[in-house]
Amino acid sequence: MRITIVGGSKGRGARLAEAARDAGHEVTTLSRSGDGPSGVTNLPGDATDPTSVRDALSGADAVVVTVGGAKGVRHHRSAVTHAVVEAMRAEGVRRLVVQSSLGAGDSGSQMPLPLRVVMKALLARPLADHDRQESIVRDSGRLQLRDLACLVMHRLRIVPA
């Protein structure tokens, strides 16, 4: 399978790229730095730029969004996810996995009330961006991507086998 990981230069995105590569998949990462694991195609680019995103996911079978926040940018995750969904629509890519956060969307109901209150107070802005991100994914299935297979993951832990 050909997988494009947006935000694959470090952290979970890089670990996912390594795991996919080791499983025999063809992996491309897109990140601001263009850094990433060896043995995969690492592309530099702005993940909110439609041209950069389309170039990165051209020919992909699936796309994974693992971007974090960006300094000085309030809605980075949702802007990236919007650009990815639009590029997927243009390129005909149907499979999307988005890394979100526990506490975003309806996942907050899974947390104990005291933790939920603290998270909402301390992480209001990042959680609002994750909420927008999840909305974009949900809405993409209702629009022209009716056959888009989407998955929003609130917790992701990749460990070596």
Q: Which two tokens stand for residue 57?
A: 């996911």
Please state, as a whole number, how many other Cβ atoms lie within 10 Å of the Cβ of residue 69.
Answer: 14
Q: Which two tokens stand for residue 118?
A: 């603290």
**Predicted pLDDT at 48:** 92
**Predicted pLDDT at 153:** 56
**Predicted pLDDT at 126:** 74
Q: Which residues pair with 6 in a beta bridge?
A: 30, 65
**Predicted pLDDT at 144:** 46
Q: Which two tokens stand for residue 155?
A: 């917790």
* 56, 30 Cβ separation under 8 angstroms: yes
Per-residue pLDDT of the chain (161 residues; tens, 9 = 90+): 999 999 888 888 999 999 999 999 999 999 989 999 999 999 999 999 999 999 999 999 999 998 876 666 677 788 998 999 999 989 989 888 887 776 676 767 777 888 778 877 777 777 777 778 888 887 776 544 445 555 555 554 444 43
* 31, 21 Cβ separation under 8 angstroms: no
The torsion angles phi and psi of 75, rounded to 5 degrees, stand at: -125, 45
Say which residues have a Cβ less than 8 Å from residue 36's Cβ, sequence separation at least 6.
8, 9, 14, 17, 29, 42
* 63, 95 Cβ separation under 8 angstroms: yes
Collapsing DSSP states into helix, strand and coil, what is residue 134?
helix
Whole-structure pTM value: 0.78
Look up residue 148 and give its DSSP letter.
-
**Predicted pLDDT at 129:** 76
Task: Give the H or E element holding residue 121.
Answer: helix 113-122
